[in-house]
Amino acid sequence: MAGDVEVLSTRARVGRLGLAAYGAFIYVFLFAPIVLLVLFSFNANRYGTFPVTAWTLKWYRDAIGNYQIHDALSTTLKVAAEVTTISVVVGTAAAFPLVRSRLPFRNGIRVAFILPIMIPGLLIGVSLLVLFTGSLHWQLSPQTAVIGQSVYTTPFVILLVAARLQALLPAILAGALLAFTLSLDEFIITYFLIGDRITLPIYIYTQIKFGITPEVNALASMLLGASLLVLALAFALPQVMRATRRAFRPRAGGVA
Amino acid sequence: MNTVAEPEAPRRRLGPASASYAPFLPAVVLLGGFFLVPLGIIVIYSFWEVIDYNVVHHWTLGNYRYFFSVTAYVKTMWATLWVSVVATAISLGLAFPFAYWLSRYVPRRLRAPLLILVVVPFWTSYLLRVYSWLTILGEKGLLNRFLQWAGITHHPIGLFLYDRSAVILVLVYLYFPFAALTLYSSIERFDWDRLRAAMDLGATPLKAIRRILVPQVRPGIVTAIIFVFIPILGEYLTPQIVGGTGGVMIGNLVVNFFQAAEYTRGAAVSLLIALFILLLLIVFRRSLSAPEAYGG
C-alpha cells in the first residue's frame, strides 16, 4: 500500500514537472522569434541574421533617417487617430441602446454589429474596393482606408463598451486604445483602400517581400517597444485613475 | 384636463422608442452602408462578368464555373481548408495542456501575469510576428545560417520556408494565444473533482473525459475553433510571406484576381470563403447557443 502511494506521488511529481516544462516551452515558442528579431536589429551583419558579427546602432540610425518611414508613420498615425475617433463615437453611441433598452430586433442588431469581427478583413477590403471604385467612383485615399478600418474596429468598441457600461470612462479608454492598436496594425483593408499612399505595415510588407533586411529589424524593434510601452500604460492607467480619483474625492464629493 | 392629456399619450410612447433607436444611427450608417451594402454588391458582382476590364451586367454563373474548372484553384481551395483544419487542431492541441497546467498547477497569484504574457504577442504587430519567423526559417535565416556556419551544409536549405508546413507553423504561432485564452477560461471553471467522482463510480478515464469533461468545456472549444479557423480561412499575409508558391491559400487567389482587375471572379472566390464560414457557424450554432452546455 505504502509503495503504491509512493509510486503515485512520484508519477504525479513527474507529471507536474512535465507540464511545467511544457509551459516553459510554450513561452519560449511565443517569445523566441520576437527576441531574436530584436537581437538581430543590433547585429552589424548586413543580412540581418545569424551569425552576430558585431553590435551596432547603424540600422536604427538608418531607420530613423529614412524619409519613407517618416511619411508612412505620419500617414499611419493620422489614419489611426481618425479611426479611433470614429469608432469610439459611433461605438459608444450604439452600445447604450444595445444594453439599456428592450428594443425589438435587439439580438438581430447585435449580430449584425458583430459580423464584421467574424468576417476576414480581406472580404471587408475587397467589398469596399468594389463599392468605392465600382459604384461610387471615389478616389482611393487615406480617408477611404479610414472608413474601411472603422468598419472593422467599431464592433470591438461596441462590444467592449456594452460589456462595461457601469464603468463608462475606463471602457471608452480601453475601446479607444484597442481601436488605435488595431488600426496601427491593420494591413489588408488598408492595402486595398489607401490608393498610392502607404502606412507602416504596408511599408514593412514591401520591404520584406524579398526577405530580411536589418533596417526593418530595427524598425520592427522600435514598433515592438512602442506597443509594449502602450500596453504597460494601459495596465498602469486604471491604477493611476483610481489614485487620482481618491486624491480628488474629498473635494469632488464622489461625483467622479 | 383629460381631453388635453389623452393625445399626448401615443406621442410619448413613440418618443422614447425612436429616441432609443437614434444612437444606433451612426453605427447603422457605418456598418450598414459600408459593410452590408458592399457585401451585397460582392454577391451581385459574383454573378456578373468582366469584359475588357469593364464589369458588364450579364447574369452568369461563369465566375464560379471558371473557378471550379481550373484544377490549381480547386486544389488551393482544398489546401486552404486542410491548412485551416490542421493549424486549428494543432493550436487547440497545444493550448489544452497549457490551459490545464495554468489552471491547475500554477499558484493563483501567478496565473494572471502568465496569462497576460501569452496575450502580449497579440498586442504586438501581426505583420512583425510573421516577419520574425523569416529570421529563423528564411534562406538567410537563423537555421540555415547556423547550419552553414557549423559546416553541416554549404548551401542554404529551402526546406524551412516557402511551403505549406511553414505556413501552418506560423499560423499556429499567430493563433495560439486566442486558443489558449478561450480554452483557459472554460477549463478554469471546470470542477476536476467531478471527473474523479465519475471514475470513482466506475467510469473508465476515457469515458469520464468524454461524458464529463468534454460537454462542459465544449463552449470554450467551439469559441476557440471559431476564432482560430475563421481568420485562417481568410489569411493572406502569412502564406504570402512564408508560403511561397507551395503555400498559396484562397485569400491569395482573391487578392490576385482583384489586382488583375478580375473583379467578378475575385468576388466569386471571396463568396466561397464566406460560404465556408457560414457553414461552420451553422454546424456550431447549437453549441454556441446552448446554455445547458455551461452546466446549467
Interface of B with A in 109-128 (CB under 8 A): 114, 116-118, 120-121, 123-128
| SS3 category, B56 | strand
Looking at chain A, which residue has its C-alpha nearest residue B42? Answer: A127
Q: CA geometry: angle at A102 spanning A96 and A103, to 5°?
A: 85
Choose between B45 and B286: higher pLDDT.
B45
| Residue linked to cell 478554469 | B188
Q: How far apart are CA A255 and CA A252, in angstroms?
A: 6
Q: What is the mean pLDDT of residues A160-178?
A: 86
Banded model confidence at residue B294, pLDDT cuts 50, 70, 90? very low
**Dihedral sign computed on CA atoms, order A89, A91, A97, A100:** negative
| Per-residue cell: B262 | 478580375
| Residue linked to cell 472554460 | B186
Question: Length of chain A, please?
Answer: 256
Taking only the tens place, the pLDDT of each residue in A27-83 is 999 999 999 889 888 988 877 667 777 888 999 999 999 999 999 999 999 999 999
For the cut 90, the answer to whether the pLDDT of residue B49 exceeds it is: no
Choose between B27 and B152: higher pLDDT.
B27
Q: How far apart are CA B183 and CA B222, in angstroms?
A: 9
Helices (H) and strands (E) in chain A, counts: 10, 0
> What is the CATH architecture assignment of A68-245?
Orthogonal Bundle (1.10)
A135 close to B (CB below 8 A) = yes
For the cut 70, the answer to whether the pLDDT of residue B155 exceeds it is: no
Pick among B21, B31, B277 to test the A interface (most A CBs inside 10 A): B31
Question: What does the pLDDT read at residue A247?
Answer: 67
Banded model confidence at residue B66, pLDDT cuts 50, 70, 90? very high
Question: What does the pLDDT read at residue B217?
Answer: 87
Closest Cα in chain B, distance from residue A249 (Å): 30
Q: What is the mean pLDDT of residues B1-14?
A: 44
Q: How far apart are CA A182 and CA A179, in angstroms?
A: 5
Which of A20, A130, A155 has the CB atom closest to B101's CB atom? A20
Pick among B25, B34, B172, B257 to test the A interface (most A CBs inside 10 A): B34
Q: Please name the helix (run of DSSP H) or strand (run of DSSP E) that holds residue A123, with its range, or none.
A: helix A121-129
A104 close to B (CB below 8 A) = no
DSSP string of B1-46? Answer: -HHHHTTHHHHHHHHHHHHHHGGGHHHIIIIIIIIIHHHHHHHHHT
A220 vs B128: CB contact, 8 Å cut-off?
yes
| Per-residue cell: A254 | 464622489
Contact (Cβ atoms closer than 8 angstroms) between residue B102 and residue A23: yes
Burial B60-73 (b: 16+ CB within 10 A, else e): eebbbebbeeeeeb
- Best CA proximity match to B133, nearest among A22, A212, A227, A218: A212
Domain ranges of chain A: 68-245
B140 close to A (CB below 8 A) = yes
Question: What does the pLDDT read at residue A250?
Answer: 52
| Per-residue cell: B261 | 482587375
- Look at domain B71-294 and name its CATH class: mainly alpha
A-chain residues near B37 (CB < 8 A): 131
A-chain residues near B134 (CB < 8 A): 208, 211-212
Contact (Cβ atoms closer than 8 angstroms) between residue B148 and residue B111: no
A30 vs B21: CB contact, 8 Å cut-off?
no
A19 vs B101: CB contact, 8 Å cut-off?
yes
Choose between A18 and A15: higher pLDDT.
A18
Taking only the tens place, the pLDDT of each residue in B267-280 is 999 999 999 999 99
A-chain residues near B240 (CB < 8 A): 209
DSSP string of A135-152? Answer: IS-PPP-HHHHHHHHHHH
Domain ranges of chain B: 2-45, 71-294
Give yes or no for a cis peptide into A97 (omega within 30° of 0): no
Looking at the DSSP assignment, which residues form a beta bridge with residue B51?
B54
Q: How far is CA A215 from CA A63, A198, A206, A210, in A?
A: 6, 17, 13, 14
Mapping DSSP onto H, E and C, the string for B130-190 reads HHHHHHHHCCCCHHHHHHHHCCCCCCCCHHHCCCHHHHHHHHHHHHHHHHHHHHHHHHHCC
A120 vs B235: CB contact, 8 Å cut-off?
yes
A212 vs B138: CB contact, 8 Å cut-off?
yes
Q: How far apart are CA B97 and CA B110, in angstroms?
A: 17
Closest Cα in chain A, distance from residue B3 (Å): 30
For the cut 60, the answer to whether the pLDDT of residue A256 exceeds it is: no
For the cut 80, the answer to whether the pLDDT of residue A235 exceeds it is: no
The one-letter amino acid at B29: V
For the cut 60, the answer to whether the pLDDT of residue B8 exceeds it is: no
Q: How far apart are CA A164 and CA A171, in angstroms?
A: 6
- Best CA proximity match to B51, nearest among B269, B262, B267: B262
| SS3 category, B51 | strand
| Per-residue cell: B47 | 454573378
Question: What does the pLDDT read at residue B169?
Answer: 94
Question: What does the pLDDT read at residue A157?
Answer: 93
- Range among B123-137, B204-218, B238-252, B282-296 with highest mean pLDDT value: B238-252
Q: How far apart are CA B258 and CA B275, in angstroms?
A: 19
Taking only the tens place, the pLDDT of each residue in A192-201 is 999 999 999 9
B5, B10, B13, B18 alpha-carbon torsion, rounded to 10°:
-130
A224 vs B177: CB contact, 8 Å cut-off?
no
| Per-residue cell: A251 | 473635494
For the cut 60, the answer to whether the pLDDT of residue A162 exceeds it is: yes
Interface of A with B in 140-179 (CB under 8 A): 147-148, 150-151, 154-155, 158
The one-letter amino acid at B89: A
B-chain residues near A115 (CB < 8 A): 31, 35
Question: What does the pLDDT read at residue A122?
Answer: 95
B27 vs A223: CB contact, 8 Å cut-off?
no
Q: Which of A85-89, A110-114, B209-213 has the lowest mean pLDDT?
A: A110-114
| SS3 category, A17 | helix
| Per-residue cell: B170 | 506560423
A210 close to B (CB below 8 A) = no
Looking at the DSSP assignment, which residues form a beta bridge with residue A12?
none
Contact (Cβ atoms closer than 8 angstroms) between residue A168 and residue A96: no
Banded model confidence at residue B51, pLDDT cuts 50, 70, 90? confident
Pick among B13, B36, B94, B124 to test the A interface (most A CBs inside 10 A): B124
Which of A33, A130, A135 has the CB atom closest to B132's CB atom? A33
Q: What is the mean pLDDT of residues B108-134?
A: 87
